[in-house]
Structure 1
C-alpha cells in the first residue's frame, strides 16, 4: 500500500481519501472471491466494475489464454488478421439482434462509443447528408469518459468539469422510472416519458446523426431503470425520422438484464451496438461495435474517394483478448458445470468462512446460464426484500442480475441525502470489514455479482448490505 500511493493515481478516486481509507492490494482471485495479501477474502458483489461474468481465474478461460499466448500474442490488424478475431466476429454477429452483420474492434467501452459516434456521422457524410452532425442523448446517461463519449453522457459528476471541451448535444428527459407517479407502472411511465424524445426527433431530425441510449439500465447513473417499451418506441421513431439508433450495451450486455442483450427484451435491433466489459469475462480490454451491412457499404469504395473509416487502435483485435472472449462465449453456449473448489478461508472469518466452505463444493444446476441467472435474480430479490419497509430506502429496483437500493433522507418525499455526507461510503467500509466488496454509487447500494455466485453468497451480500445501510442511516 505504501508503494502504491507513492507512484499510482487510481481511477474515479480522490486520492486523499486513502489517508484514512487504506487501499487493498489483491493477491489473487478465485471464483466470486478476492484475497488480499493478509489472507482476508472479499465476495466480489460488483463483478470488479461489472466486467467479471464467470468468476476470477476461471479454468476454461485460463486454458484458452495459455494456449493462445504460445501461438500469437498480437499482430497489427491493418492488412493482417487472425483466427480468434475472425471467429469472434462471426459468433458475435450470429448472436446479436438481426441485421448486425459487421464487427469493428476497439480497446474499451469509451472507445467503442467513439467508434459508433464517428461511424454514424461519417455515414451521413458519405451518403450526402453532411448537415447531420448532432446527437440526442437521455438525461442521467453515461457512455464513457473520453471526450466524445463524455459529451453524449449526462452525469454531472463526470461531465461538468470538462464541458468547455465537449461538443453540443441534445439532451432529453429520460424514462427513469424512479420518477413515476404513485401507482404508475414502469410501462406507463416509460411511454409517457417517450413524448420528450418524439418531440426532439420531430424538431431536430434533419441535423441529428443518431440517438444513443443505455438499454434498460443507466448503470453509472445510479442504476436507474426503465421499461423495454421505450426502446420499441424509439426504434420506430428513429426509422420514421431517418436517424441512427446506438445501443450502448457495454454494461448491460452478456446476460446482465436477463437476456443475452438488453435490446432483445424490446424485440429491436439498433444500427450500432457497443459491447465491452463482460465481453472477455473480465480478463482483458476489448470492445466491439456491431453494425449493419448498409452502413459498412457506405464506406466501401475506391481509395481516392476518401470514404474509408480511418479509425484505429494499436491493440485493435488483440488475439489474446479475442480468445478470452471466445472462451467466455463458450461458457454461455454450453452447460454450467460444477464450480471448481477454492482454497479454504483463513481462520476467524465467522459467517463468511462457513458460507465459503459450504459453497466451495456446491454445484450449480445443470442449466443454461441465462435460466440459472433467472433463479439467482429471484434469490437477489428475496434477499433484499426486507429492506422494502426501511425508513430510509425509497426503492428497491431490479432488472435481471442488477439490483439497486436507493437510500434517501425522507422516504415519503424521496428527499435525497446531501451527497457531501457520503452515506454510501459507510456501506462500502462496512462491507470491507465483513468481507464483501460493495461499491455504492453515491447513495445507491447495488448488487451486480458474477453469474457463479451462489444463493448463500447472495444472502451474505444482502445481510452485509443491510448492516451497512443501518449504520449509514443511523442518525
Structure 2
C-alpha cells in the first residue's frame, strides 16, 4: 500500500481527514472496486457519474491499447485524424434531432466554457454583439472553471474565488418542499421557469446571450425538474431570442433511460454539454453538441481564416476518440442507453423505502439517479451525510454525498440484487447516524 500521501493535494476532498484514514481503490471490474487489501466495494455512483457501462470493459480497454500503439497524439489545430470524425458522426446519430455538430473538449468544465463562449460569439457573428449576459440557476453546478462557477449557483464553489465573470445572473432553483418524496418528476413548480421573465425585465432580453441549466441538477443533491418546467424555459428562451444550454455532463448517455435528458423530457436545447459517460470514464473527454444554425453562423468570411478562436491541445485526443467509439459500441451492443428505463421502477421502489427513517426529510429519484436528503446536525452541516458515506464504505458500498444529501448514480449494468445491497446498506448507515 502507498505509504506517503503527503505530496498529493486531492480535489474536492477533506484532505486532512482522508490522509488520517485513507480510502484507496486499486482494482475495478463490473459493478465493483477493490481496495489494495482485497476488500470488495459495490460502486453505487458509477465512479463519479461516469462509468455507465461498468468497470473494466474489454472492448474499451482494447481500443485504447490499440490506439496508443498506432498513434499516441495528433495535433487538433489545422489537422485531424480519422477517429475524431468517426466519433462525431456516431454521436450525432443519437443526439436530439438537429443537434448535428460536435466540438470536442476534455472535461465537463471545458465543455461548459466552450458552450458559453459559443453562445456569446454566435450572437456577435449574427450582429447582436450586445448579447453578452449569461443566466445560470441557483444551486446549479457547471464545473469548476471561472465561467462554470460564475453561472453555477453552489455557494461553496464560488465564495473563495472573487467576483466571477461580470454580466451573470441566476434564476431560482427548483427545490420545492411541496414536492418532498415525489417519485420521478414532481408535480409542482413549472411556474419557477417564469423567473427568467423577471431577469428579462431587469436586464432586457437584447442583452442576454444564453441560459444554462442542468436538466437534472446532480451535484447539488439531485433536483428533479417539475413537470412542464423545461418546456416553459424553452418557450421563454424562444420568445426572447435567448439560447438554451443543457448541461448534460451527468444526465447524458443513458442515466435517465434515454440517450440524453433532452430526449427524455422532450425538450431540445440549442447547445448541449457532455463528458463523463462519453468514454465510460476511461479517458478524459467532453463535447459540446450544437444545432446546425449555430455552427453555420460562424462559417462566413475568407475560407482560410479560423472561424471560432477556441480549442484545446487535447481536443479529440486519439486515445479518447478510440475510447469513445468503443464505449458507444458497448452501449449499443447491450442496450445500455435505454436500460435505465427498465430498471427505474425497481430503483424507485428501493430508494423510496428509505422514507420515514430517522432524519430522512426527502427522497428524490428519476431514471437511475437517487437523492436522499438528511436533516443536518445543528451547527455541523454535511457531517451527518458524511458519516453515512463513511459507514457505507466500511460496509462495502460506495455512495456520494453533497451537503447532507446522499446521491446514487450506479452503473447502468446494475441488477436488482445490487440495488437491494446499496439500499439496505444505506438504511443501516442512516439508522446508525441517527
Instruction: Assess same fold via TM > 0.5.
Output: yes
> CA separation in 2, counterparts of 1:181 and 1:317?
42
> CA separation in 1, counterparts of 2:306 and 2:129?
13
Contact preservation (8 Å) 2:53, 2:331: no
Distance of aligned partners of 1:50 and 1:211 in 2 relative to their CA distance in 1, 3 Å threshold: same
Residue equivalent to 1:468: 429
Distance of aligned partners of 1:375 and 1:99 in 2 relative to their CA distance in 1, 3 Å threshold: closer
Residue equivalent to 1:41: 40
TM-score w.r.t. length of structure 1: 0.86
Larger Rg: 1
SS of corresponding position for 1:329: helix
Q: Deviations over 1:418-443 (max 9, x none)?
A: 44461111111111111111221121
Contact preservation (8 Å) 1:211, 1:245: yes
Give unmatched runs, 5+ long, in structure 1.
337-367, 410-415
> CA separation in 1, counterparts of 2:183 and 2:346?
26
Residue equivalent to 1:10: 10
Q: Deviations over 1:171-216 (max 9, x none)?
A: 111223445489999565232212212332344311100000101x
Q: Deviations over 1:345-381 (max 9, x none)?
A: xxxxxxxxxxxxxxxxxxxxxxx32453233222222
| RMSD (CA atoms) | 2.3
> CA separation in 2, counterparts of 1:34 and 1:399?
25
> CA separation in 2, counterparts of 1:85 and 1:285?
14
Distance of aligned partners of 1:331 and 1:134 in 2 relative to their CA distance in 1, 3 Å threshold: same
SS of corresponding position for 1:95: coil
> CA separation in 2, counterparts of 1:469 and 1:373?
26
Corresponding position: 1:430 with 2:376: no
More off after superposition, 464-473 vs 225-234: 225-234
Contact preservation (8 Å) 1:445, 1:465: no
How do 1:6-405 residues align onto structure 2 when only pairs under 5 Å count?
Answer: 6-20=6-20, 22-178=21-177, 180=179, 188-203=187-202, 204-215=204-215, 217-303=216-302, 308-334=307-333, 336=334, 368-405=335-372
> CA separation in 1, counterparts of 2:217 and 2:182?
22
> CA separation in 2, counterparts of 1:178 and 1:163?
32
> CA separation in 1, counterparts of 2:345 and 2:378?
29
Contact preservation (8 Å) 2:180, 2:361: no
Contact preservation (8 Å) 1:401, 1:448: yes
Distance of aligned partners of 1:202 and 1:330 in 2 relative to their CA distance in 1, 3 Å threshold: farther
Per-residue deviation, 1:70: 2.3
Distance of aligned partners of 1:44 and 1:407 in 2 relative to their CA distance in 1, 3 Å threshold: same
Residue equivalent to 2:413: 452
Per-residue deviation, 1:401: 0.4
More off after superposition, 376-385 vs 243-252: 376-385
> CA separation in 2, counterparts of 1:405 and 1:17?
24
Contact preservation (8 Å) 2:187, 2:227: no
Residue equivalent to 1:412: none
> CA separation in 1, counterparts of 2:160 and 2:421?
38
SS of corresponding position for 2:326: helix
Residue equivalent to 1:355: none
Per-residue deviation, 1:37: 1.2
> CA separation in 2, counterparts of 1:439 and 1:387?
16
> CA separation in 1, counterparts of 2:4 and 2:227?
44
Distance of aligned partners of 1:185 and 1:81 in 2 relative to their CA distance in 1, 3 Å threshold: closer
SS of corresponding position for 2:400: coil
> CA separation in 1, counterparts of 2:390 and 2:181?
34
Q: Which has the higher contact order (CA 8 A, sep 6+)?
A: 2
Contact preservation (8 Å) 2:183, 2:364: no
> CA separation in 1, counterparts of 2:126 and 2:223?
37
> CA separation in 1, counterparts of 2:266 and 2:348?
25
Contact preservation (8 Å) 1:177, 1:186: no
TM-score w.r.t. length of structure 2: 0.94
Give unmatched runs, 5+ long, in structure 2.
none
Q: Deviations over 1:138-196 (max 9, x none)?
A: 11111010001110000001111113243341111122344548999956523221221
Distance of aligned partners of 1:201 and 1:258 in 2 relative to their CA distance in 1, 3 Å threshold: farther
Per-residue deviation, 1:312: 1.6
More off after superposition, 134-143 vs 373-382: 373-382
More off after superposition, 91-100 vs 222-231: 222-231
> CA separation in 2, counterparts of 1:131 and 1:288?
27
Contact preservation (8 Å) 1:35, 1:42: yes
Per-residue deviation, 1:309: 1.0
Distance of aligned partners of 1:227 and 1:259 in 2 relative to their CA distance in 1, 3 Å threshold: farther
Per-residue deviation, 1:457: 1.4
SS of corresponding position for 1:398: strand
Per-residue deviation, 1:386: 2.7
